[in-house]
Amino acid sequence: MSRRPVQRTATRRGATPKPRKAPARRPKRAGLLDQAVAALPFSEKTLQGIATWSIVGAVGAAVLAVGVWAGVPGMVGVAAANTLGDLGLRVDEIQIDGIKRMDKMTVYSQALDQDSRAMPLVDLKLVRERLLKYPWVQDARVSRRLPGTLRVFIVERQPAAVWQNHGQLMLVDTAGVPLEPVSADAMPDLPLLIGEGANSQEPARSMLLEAAPALKPLVRAATWVGNRRWDLTFNTGEKLQLPEGEAESRQALHKFAEMDGERRLLGKGSLRFDMRVPGNMVVQRRVMPQTAAADAAKTGE
């Protein structure tokens, strides 16, 4: 059997053989997990913190669930929640959004009025129900932002008119809900509602004036008479007496607006326009001094 010839590398006599080159290593590619972490908009330290609190929250939820399942939520559940509070899962900050007129201290007091400030024990539903009792609050949303922030978002009611009743002035919203008293010296530039129960008729008043857009900015006050019909007072001082019924009053106001556009009824010295009888209008004019003297002279004759 013949041996395989050994290959020799030719070198010059006396020269040192060159060492063989080690094969070049390919650059190690980052794994998918490393790439995903690098693409996140926050640092690895922040990510570790989020993971830690997620684990703490999950463990806390599991402990509370076990306590409830075992039938001792008042002992195990509360104790576990307080333990999480001691570890840092507690209300340290309240973030309030959406309020312009309501006092922030009111929101703080209602949110913090709890048996415990441990985050798992904060009753979000109770806080919302408390806030909804305040006139300015139309809606409220309460949520947790771990580890220690309670977020409260409030939708406030918008004032739509001033209600005058028995000498008292009160802001009301579009639904007629009373919001807060106002003084005559600080009257806002809003429509004036006058009369018993006029605040609950605010939606009807707003709909009524839509029948006469040209007259709407000229109406200074709307008086709800006898809980059945409207009297409108204009900036020029005249009063328009409308009939009962939504359709009838809208039709009468629309007709009056047409006549005012044709013959300019307002600002001509009249006292009132009585349209309580459908299809008929009675105009009461001011009695001028000259006219009164002439009438007296004729009576004397």
Lookup: tokens for 155: 């939708």
Q: Domain of 237?
A: 159-290
Q: Are residues 169 and 242 in the same domain?
A: yes
Residue 281 placed within a domain: yes
Question: Would you place residue 297 in the very low, low, confident or very high pLDDT band (cuts 50, 70, 90)?
Answer: very low
In the prediction, which pLDDT does 205 show?
A: 96
CATH of the domain at 95: 3.10.20.310
265 pLDDT above the threshold of 90: yes
CATH of the domain at 240: 3.40.50.11690
Question: Would you place residue 38 in the very low, low, confident or very high pLDDT band (cuts 50, 70, 90)?
Answer: low
Question: Would you place residue 56 in the very low, low, confident or very high pLDDT band (cuts 50, 70, 90)?
Answer: low
Question: Would you place residue 122 in the very low, low, confident or very high pLDDT band (cuts 50, 70, 90)?
Answer: confident
Q: Are residues 179 and 115 in the same domain?
A: no
Q: Are residues 141 and 206 in the same domain?
A: no
pTM of the model: 0.65
Residue 236 placed within a domain: yes
**Per-residue pLDDT reduced to its tens digit, 217-227:** 999 999 999 99
**Per-residue pLDDT reduced to its tens digit, 228-249:** 999 999 999 999 999 999 999 9
SS in 3 state form for the chain? Answer: CCCCCCCCCCCCCCCCCCCCCCCCCCCCCCCHHHHHHHHCCCCHHHHHHHHHHHHHHHHHHHHHHHHHHCCCHHHHHHHHHHHHHHCCCECCEEEEECCCCCCHHHHHHHHHCCCCCEHHHCCHHHHHHHHCCCCCEEEEEEEEECCCEEEEEEEECCEEEEEEECCEEEEEECCCCEEEECCHHHCCCCCEEECCCHHHHHHHHHHHHCCCCCCHHHEEEEEEECCCEEEEEECCCCEEECCCCHHHHHHHHHHHHHHHHHHCCCCCCEEEEECCCCCCCEEEECCCHHHHHHHHHHHHC
In the prediction, which pLDDT does 148 show?
A: 86
Last residue of a domain, one of 138, 156, 174: 156
Tally of structural domains, the chain: 2
CA dist., res. 206 & res. 250, Å (int): 11
